[in-house]
Amino acid sequence: KNQVEQSPQSLIILEGKNCTLQCNYTVSPFSNLRWYKQDTGRGPVSLTIMTFSENTKSNGRYTATLDADTKQSSLHITASQLSDSASYICVVSAMNNAGNMLTFGGGTRLMVKP
């Protein structure tokens, strides 16, 4: 069964500090992995996409990594800001005969405090 596990479930950090969120998956056959940011009461917005051949990709203060061998991804946030407070969702895509199937992680809820 395809699964995506995220850790930690929740995290509190002080403004200006860095943090790293983890995503482990058992999805096959792997197609790509996306990180989404979801503000409270809003819809998720894509931050970055990682394909099989990519190890690292940055989007401003967000840096995602992918280790396809160990089936792990991380999202590193540098110099956190209050606006980074949100849930971060890891979504892994598998390609099979039925098309592109998505498996969602449960998310990490990040709170940045002043």
Partner 1 sequence: DGGITQSPKYLFRKEGQNVTLSCEQNLNHDAMYWYRQDPGQGLRLIYYSQIVNDFQKGDIAEGYSVSREKKESFPLTVTSAQKNPTAFYLCASKGLGRGNTGELFFGEGSRLTVL
Stretch that binds partner 1, among 15-23, 52-60, 66-74, 88-96 (CB under 8 A): 88-96
29 binds partner 1 (CB under 8 A): no
Is omega for the bond preceding 29 within 30 degrees of 0, making it cis? yes
Burial-class residue 110 by CB neighbours within 10 Å (0-12, 13-18, 19+): buried
Q: How far apart are CA 36 and CA 91, in angstroms?
A: 8
Q: Residue 13 or residue 49: which is nearer to partner 1 going by CB? A: 49
Binding string to partner 1 for residues 45 to 64, with x set by CB under 8 A, is what?
xx--x---------------
Q: Which tokens in the block code for residue 39?
A: 């503000």
The residues of the shown chain that bind partner 1, judged by CB under 8 A, are: 4, 9, 31-32, 34, 41-46, 49, 89, 91, 93, 99-100, 102-107
